[in-house]
Amino acid sequence: MTVAKPRLHVLLAGPRGFCAGVDRAIRIVEEALKRHGAPVYVRHEIVHNRFVVEGLERLGAIFVDELAEVPDDGQPVVFSAHGVPKSVPAEARDREMYFLDATCPLVSKVHREAERLHARGRHLLLIGHEGHPEVIGTMGQLPDGAMTLVHDAEAARRVTPPEGAELTYTTQTTLSVDDTAEIIAILRERFPGITEPAKESICYATTNRQAAVKAVAARSDLVVVVGAPNSSNSVRLREVAERAGAPRAVMVQRGAELDPALADGCATIGVTAGASAPELLVQEVVDRLRERFDVTTEDVTVAIEDVIFRLPPMRVVA
């Protein structure tokens, strides 16, 4: 006798998964491999997702920590989507390397804004996570001491900028919208003269994915976030889900990592994915749940994204 599976309703948050910056970075590596053949060297993970990285490795990409590991063989070197300090392309030019910058254009906008504000004599407070590649890249756009990192609300209460400095702030693009608003409020209270950046620094994709996970969390007994533990935007999605009302939120990198028994007793669960996780991995999670449950799905879409970023110019191969 076949025992009927318990029913489970899965809310699929939208938007989820790849953003335009991640898609562009991956396409840059793929196009470089097509044009120039293997190997193509990539400084750091092109995006924070092992599935993506391993797929590019199979095509012939070689990931390195620093340019010192790259031989002088004339093959392309790609800089990751998170951005790099100015010292990295400077080193590449000194070595006459052929390099392609896959920095997300929205991160590059933060870099250029930081340069403009510094040129106007402002001291920048950068709201972001210490040690994250994007933060390292942004701070590396300006001379040492021109920018001070503020990594959380407590740091905002303690930060001591240079005396008499005119202050402004900017942010990492993948932060929690709510946490960042709290930090900015503290900075405004402490430094009434602080000026705002010309444009919002947290990117549209981060904002949209957090809004989408809030929409499903309020209806869910459990939220599953597909993403890597070193992916800032994925970690933020799990945190946002819990704060938005989900009794529990977990993060997995692949469907095989998910224990379907976590959903026992749940009527409805939400599923989303960080900006560097492909849709295939979301489907893995749904399929994993189908092993134990009679699954129905519902799309919960809060925004439609149609942003596309162009690839940088590449050498013509004869």
One-letter amino acid at 131 equals G
The whole-angstrom separation of Cα 53 and Cα 311 is 19
Query: Which among 261, 199, 257, 248 has a CA at the least distance from the CA of 220?
Result: 248
Query: Which among 28, 73, 69, 70 has a CA at the least distance from the CA of 47?
Result: 28
The whole-angstrom separation of Cα 132 and Cα 123 is 21
Radius of gyration of the chain (CA): 21
257 among known catalytic residues = no
The whole-angstrom separation of Cα 206 and Cα 106 is 11
Catalytic residue among 66, 91, 115, 134: 134
Range list of H helices, the chain: 20-36, 50-59, 87-94, 105-119, 133-139, 153-158, 177-190, 204-217, 232-243, 279-290
* Burial of residue 65 (number of CB atoms within 10 Å: 0-12, 13-18, 19+): exposed
Catalytic sites, residue numbers: 134
